[in-house]
Amino acid sequence: MKEIYKNIPAFPTQELNSNYGTHPMQDGMTLRDYFAGQALSGILLLGRGVVTDGSFRFLTPEEAAEISYTNADAMMEAREK
């Protein structure tokens, strides 16, 4: 994956002037972080279980996060095609 794509912002906001004052621009999270969060939602929905060598076990939070970012990287690469 191209390094530049890891930092594309998701949900950026522009500076907003309103009756409540000025709200500065926010970069938002990166698109990679957004994709990882979506993947993590699915992993947690499934109870963080994984089948390895025919056995079931729960993923540690670190493993779930790593798998989430692996999936996010795959989604980022798929966007380049």
Look at residue 4 and tell me whether its pLDDT is greater than 60. no
In this prediction, residue 36 carries a pLDDT of 94
Contact 65, 24 (CB under 8 A): no
- Tell me: the pLDDT tens digits for 34-54? 999 999 998 888 766 766 677
More confident residue, 36 or 8: 36
Of all helices (H) and strands (E), which one includes residue 73? Answer: helix 61-79
Q: What is the pTM of this model?
A: 0.65
Give the span between the Cα atoms of 13 and 28, in whole angstroms: 7
